[in-house]
Chains A and B, each alone.
Chain A
Amino acid sequence: ETGVTQTPRHLVMGMTNKKSLKCEQHLGHNAMYWYKQSAKKPLELMFVYNFKEQTENNSVPSRFSPECPNSSHLFLHLHTLQPEDSALYLCASSQGREGPGGYTFGSGTRLTVV
């Protein structure tokens, strides 16, 4: 167990569905991140939360809606997705600039939009 837990591991959803991805960390980190990994592309940063406040939204479409109720939990709410949104969604946490830096990643959620 890496210390960052993502659920579910796999998700298949239709374009009209609403679903949520969950990320949880118990490392005492204060920053959490969502990344998208598509085939043959570098990891794309989606959102950054620092002390529960969103500090970065990397021009992500509004069909992706993040939520960070506390420093240990991060959600990604999904609605009316497109097939091109199929990818591996990775959550990470860090101490940010409060510490030495460095990320700890979860195992990811493999999302397929049909």
Chain B
Amino acid sequence: KQEVTQIPAALSVPEGENLVLNCSFTDSAIYNLQWFRQDPGKGLTSLLLIQSSQREQTSGRLNASLDKSSGRSTLYIAASQPGDSATYLCAVDLASGTYKYIFGTGTRLKVLA
């Protein structure tokens, strides 16, 4: 059974810091992995989608890497800003069966001005 873990559960950093959020999964046979952002009480906003054949994806200050063999993905946020404060979720899709995502519990990020 696929399990997705995110570390740390919560993180508080001063503005301007570069930071790394971690996601690990137990079954390396995945179709893709997606990082999301969720503001309190709101839906999820897609940040980056990495296909199983890709090693990384970049969008602005965000960079996500994927190492399938070790079951890990990292989300790198450069020059963090208070507006980055949110919960960050990763989700993986198994390569077989019905297409559906298994989510991690998220990392709650607070960037202090």
In contact, B43 and A106 (Cβ under 8 angstroms) = yes
In contact, B43 and A108 (Cβ under 8 angstroms) = yes
Which one of B13-21, B45-53, B59-67, B71-79 is at the A interface?
A: B45-53
Measured between beta carbons, the chain B residues less than 8 angstroms from A90 are 43-44
In contact, A45 and B32 (Cβ under 8 angstroms) = no
Residue of A nearest to B41 (CB): A110
In contact, A101 and B31 (Cβ under 8 angstroms) = yes
Q: How many contacts between A and B, using CB within 8 angstroms?
A: 68
In contact, B34 and A103 (Cβ under 8 angstroms) = yes
Residue of B nearest to A41 (CB): B105
Residue of B nearest to A95 (CB): B99
Decide yes or no: A45 and B104 within 8 Å by CB, A2-B43, A102-B34 being known contacts. no
Which one of A13-21, A48-56, A68-76, A78-86 is at the B interface?
A: A48-56
**A side interface size, CB within 8 A:** 30
A12 is an interface residue with CB less than 8 A from chain B: no
Measured between beta carbons, the chain A residues less than 8 angstroms from B1 are none
Minimum CB–CB distance for B50 against chain A, Å: 10
B88 is an interface residue with CB less than 8 A from chain A: no
**What is the CA–CA distance of A104 and B4 in the complex, to the nearest angstrom?**
20
**What is the CA–CA distance of A64 and B44 in the complex, to the nearest angstrom?**
22
Residue of B nearest to A35 (CB): B103
In contact, B103 and A50 (Cβ under 8 angstroms) = no
Minimum CB–CB distance for A35 against chain B, Å: 8
Measured between beta carbons, the chain B residues less than 8 angstroms from A4 are 43
In contact, B100 and A100 (Cβ under 8 angstroms) = no
Residue of B nearest to A6 (CB): B43
In contact, B49 and A48 (Cβ under 8 angstroms) = no
Binding site for B on A (CB under 8 A): 2, 4, 6, 31, 33, 40-43, 45, 48, 50, 55-56, 88, 90, 92, 94, 96-97, 100-108, 110
